[in-house]
């Protein structure tokens, strides 16, 4: 840890390492309704967020708020069972702090998952979408402020924010287990209100295929630190105006729950090949 300058990070790593000797090679962040993957981790050690120094607390339904260490397909992993969001009132530093922790613990690969609204009219609730790129509509960036030189460069490149290697591996994995995947661009807004139909039309014209309220800050900070990133969205509902119905969070969690077996099978199979 000596090469990291952030004293908070050093403090958090010390706390984690006193409780857990496992050195994770891969980290997973689980979004709304997708936490059941963490239940398949073997030899799990669960640490509630509220007990971890300098960690925020997850306040959203469908986010359990646990850091889980253990193994998936013989890979040592650390898993966030629920994440932090900008709309919860947390700073970008709070939102991305776990990703910095993962890097400090020795993680090299980051898998991000989320629940998203489908903008692409060829999508349906329950689809899984590989994220090939994103549009940052949050109006901010987690790297604003003094640069943490011990973590990464002032101006990180984002031309391959999502690893092409892992995207191709994911496609081959899905094909081998007969799971159909969509592929597209994810657009992040702050939330917590859902978008208006006019906003969704605009986002579609901008090239977005799905919309959500997370993931992008984590991807930016991960690229800043040199982690290899893979991300996938569970399309839990169609975005405003696509269908003639109102949106609610219960639909998000219910659809994610219906999709969980396919989602778990895919992620487990992908991890085995990484």
Q: Measured between alpha carbons, how far is residue 104 from residues 12, 222, 241 in Å?
A: 10, 12, 43
Q: Residues 255, 234: contact at Cβ < 8 Å?
A: yes
> 126-176: per-residue pLDDT in tens?
999 999 999 999 999 999 999 988 899 999 999 999 999 999 999 999 999
Mean pLDDT on 76-82: 95
Residue 2 lies in a domain: no
58 pLDDT band (50/70/90 cuts)?
confident
Residue 137 lies in a domain: yes
Residue 2 has pLDDT above 50, yes or no: no
244 pLDDT band (50/70/90 cuts)?
low
Residue 218 has pLDDT above 80, yes or no: yes
Mean pLDDT on 8-35: 91
Mean pLDDT of the chain: 92
Residue 221 has pLDDT above 80, yes or no: yes
Q: Which residues are catalytic?
A: 32, 63, 85, 87-88, 115, 213-214, 237, 249
Residue 1 lies in a domain: no
Distance CA 71, CA 79 (A): 10
Residue 247 has pLDDT above 90, yes or no: no
Residue 61 has pLDDT above 90, yes or no: no
CATH of the domain at 99: 3.40.50.1580
Distance CA 117, CA 13 (A): 35
pLDDT at 1: 39
5 pLDDT band (50/70/90 cuts)?
low
Residue 232 lies in a domain: yes
Residue 74 lies in a domain: yes
Q: Can you give the residue range of the structural domain that contains 211? A: 7-273
Residue 163 lies in a domain: yes
Number of domain units in the chain? 1
């Amino acid at each position: 840890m000596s090469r990291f300058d952030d004293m908070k990070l050093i403090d958090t790593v010390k706390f984690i390492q006193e409780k857990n000797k496992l050195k994770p090679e891969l980290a997973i962040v689980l979004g709304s309704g997708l936490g059941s993957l963490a239940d398949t981790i073997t030899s799990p050690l669960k640490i509630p967020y509220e007990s971890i120094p300098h960690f925020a607390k997850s306040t959203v339904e469908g986010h359990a708020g646990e850091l889980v260490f253990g193994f998936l397909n013989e890979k040592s992993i650390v898993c966030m069972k629920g994440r932090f969001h900008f709309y919860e009132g947390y700073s970008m530093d709070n939102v991305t702090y776990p990703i910095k922790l993962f890097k400090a613990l020795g993680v090299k690969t980051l898998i991000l998952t989320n629940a998203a609204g489908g903008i692409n009219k060829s999508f349906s609730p329950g689809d899984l979408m590989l994220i090939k790129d994103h549009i940052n509509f949050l109006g901010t960036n987690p790297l604003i402020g003094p640069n943490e030189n011990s973590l990464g460069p002032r101006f990180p490149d984002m031309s391959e924010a999502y690893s092409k290697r892992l995207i191709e591996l994911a496609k081959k994995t899905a094909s081998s287990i007969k799971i159909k995947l969509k592929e597209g661009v994810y657009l992040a807004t702050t939330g917590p209100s859902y978008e208006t139909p006019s906003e969704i039309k605009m986002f579609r014209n901008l090239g977005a295929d799905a919309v959500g309220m997370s993931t992008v800050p984590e991807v930016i900070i991960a690229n800043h630190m040199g982690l290899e990133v893979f991300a996938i969205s569970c399309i839990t509902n169609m975005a405003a105006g696509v269908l003639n119905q109102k949106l609610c969070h219960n639909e998000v969690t219910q659809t994610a729950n219906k999709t969980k077996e396919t989602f778990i099978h895919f992620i487990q199979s992908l991890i085995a090949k990484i």
